[in-house]
Structures are given as structure tokens and as C-alpha cells.
Amino acid sequence: MPKLDLFQFTPFRINRLAAEISAALSSEYRDRYGIDIPEWRVLATLGFRQEPCTAQYVVDCTRTHKSTISRAVTNLLRQRIVERVENEQDRREFALQLTAKGTALYEEMIPRMLRREQDILSCLSARDRKSLDAMLGKLERSLDLVQGKIPQASRKAGN
């Protein structure tokens, strides 16, 4: 009889690990800043990419459902963390960018988030990290999760 040990089943292990890491990280932005996961993803996308970009671009980058991103953007607008301007060339879309408040929040959060990442990875040697990075890269490419697939939203949204 064929058997499957969940503890050795890679999909399960990765899922469980992801959930645990998520929980460890989200306490940082949820408790301290009142930001939830979708909001954090929007913030991180806009903050990294200094140019304005569309909600659709965030959807493509983060692989998060568009209704989820839409709601996150609404919340961030209400909190004045993000602002948006209609694109004159294409009036279906809006160019999103961080406000001064949003930028300040981003700059305050990032070092904390990076520190948390380091805490989580602290059980791995430099060589291990390289190796993990390589494995993730291969899996991402194989599953079509690569950056190359992401449209250059800036060209449209930016000007």
C-alpha cells in the first residue's frame, strides 16, 4: 500500500512553514502599525518601486486577488498612506504612490522587517542561504512566478 508521510511531503512542509513565518512577521506590522498582509504588500510594492504604479501592477507582483488589493488600497487611501491620481491617458486606471506619511511609515517599517527576516534565517549559514535562495529561484521559475512576467506598469502609469 502506498503511503505518504505528511512530514516529508514537500508541499505540506512548505505550506506549514509559510504559515508560521507569516504569523511571525505579521505580528510586526499588525500589532505595531495596524497594517494587515494585503496592505503590507501594497506598501512594500509602492515603496520599493519609487514610481507610481497601478493596483493591477501590485496584483501581478504579489499574486494577490484583485479584490483583495482593491480593498487594501481603499484602506490605505483612507489612512492617507497612499494617494492616487487618475491616469489621463487611460481613465480606467489610477497611479498609486505613497504619501509623505506612507513613505515615513515605509522607512520605519523596512529595517524592522529585514531584521525579522534575518531572525528567521539565522538558523542558516551563509552557504545555506545561498542554497535556499537558489532552490526558491528554481521553483519560482518552474511555477512561472518570475519577475519577468510582470508588466512594466510604470510606462503606462508613470507618464
Under the criterion CB under 8 A, does residue 41 sit at the interface with a copy of itself?
Answer: yes
Torsion of CA 55, 98, 35, 75, to 10 degrees: -60
Minimum distance from residue 99 beta carbon to a copy of itself (Å): 15
Under the criterion CB under 8 A, does residue 121 sit at the interface with a copy of itself?
Answer: yes
Candidates 28, 33, 51, 68: give the one binding DNA (CB under 7 A). Answer: 68
Distances (CA, A) of 72 to 7, 21, 85, 93: 35, 21, 17, 16
Distances (CA, A) of 116 to 110, 124, 159: 10, 14, 36
User: Residues near 30 by Cβ (< 8 Å), separated by ≥ 6?
Assistant: 36
Stretch 61-100: interaction string toward a copy of itself, x if CB under 8 A: xxx-------------------------------------
Under the criterion CB under 7 A, does residue 20 sit at the interface with DNA?
Answer: no
Under the criterion CB under 7 A, does residue 27 sit at the interface with DNA?
Answer: no
Residues 93-112 that bind DNA (CB under 7 A): 93-94
Under the criterion CB under 7 A, does residue 32 sit at the interface with DNA?
Answer: no
